[in-house]
Amino acid sequence: MATIAELQAKGFEVQYLSHASAILTVDFPDALTELCSVLIDATIPIEEIIAGGGGESKGTQRLRKALTELKWPKTTFTVQKIINGKEREAISHEIDHVRDFDAGTIALEIEWNNKDPFFDRDLENYKRLHADGAISVGVIVTRGKSLHGNMRDLVRRFVDERKIEKFDDLREWGYEPTSKQRNAINKRMTRKKKPLTFQDAFIDKFVKDKFGEATTHWRKLEDRVHRGVGNPCPLLLIGMPDSIVTFHEGKKALEEVLEAEEDEPEEAEA
């Protein structure tokens, strides 16, 4: 069975807050075992990062499926305020994964690549639910320092190994830039001062658009908990490392991404 120490040895960031370490190791050892067993084998082929659309990545979907199979389902908590038999207030909190144990309840959210205010939502939900006695510990899994900080290097490796030199080469790997993105890339290539190669222009635009600083990653999460957001709910924070990104799947991974996108129901335009 995998352990927190094994996650850390593999490069995962792990941070406990408000005595979460004591609570989890003493009262919820099975929760730690289940979480570690799911995360230790987590992988995301680079093709999923490049070709994935605006929805949830397949890597996140695999994590969700594994947790659900271990009885960590999506759960809606409804907190009601009743005065003299009359309901005056009802607040609902939807949590992606919840696991009930004899000692209490653990809540978990995966924030792979959302807008960073989602951290505020998660932490405030945990604070309220803990205050109401609904959960014992809240867990957040997100992109770790190395995964966020080295994203350009990962995309660079993809570009170099797949010999990406033009837009048509990107299309072969499931990435079709919009006209706005094409214009931005061409502008970087044709500017008078320090023009970029196609590869550098694509990497710059892709990473800024898809994995910018205003998305959910370790530093943004740390900023919030250091300010006290979510306090005093006991928290376990886990950052996924760049070592989870793999490069050997090739077209097989791309085919799975495209098949998944075809199976997704179309969303109505806002």
Tell me the domain boundaries of the chain.
4-257
Give residue 257's pLDDT band: very low, low, confident or very high (50, 70, 90): confident
Q: Is the pLDDT of residue 247 over 80?
A: yes
Residues 6+ apart with CB under 8 A from 90: 78, 79, 80, 81
Give residue 252's pLDDT band: very low, low, confident or very high (50, 70, 90): confident
Q: What is the mean pLDDT of residues 201-221?
A: 96
pLDDT tens digits, one per residue of 44-96:
999 989 987 555 678 888 999 999 999 999 999 998 888 898 888 888 999 99
**Rounded CA separation 194/196 (Å):** 6
Query: Does pTM surpass 0.85?
Result: yes
**Rounded CA separation 187/137 (Å):** 48
Q: How far apart are the first and last CA of the chain?
A: 45
Give residue 253's pLDDT band: very low, low, confident or very high (50, 70, 90): confident
Say if strands 137-143 and 104-111 run parallel, antiparallel, or are unpaired. parallel
What b/e readout covers 29-44, taking b as 16+ CB neighbours within 10 angstroms? ebbbebbbebbbebeb
pLDDT at 58: 83
pLDDT at 261: 60
* CATH 3.40.250.10 corresponds to the domain 4-257: no
Per-residue tokens: 190: 């044709």
**Rounded CA separation 31/29 (Å):** 5
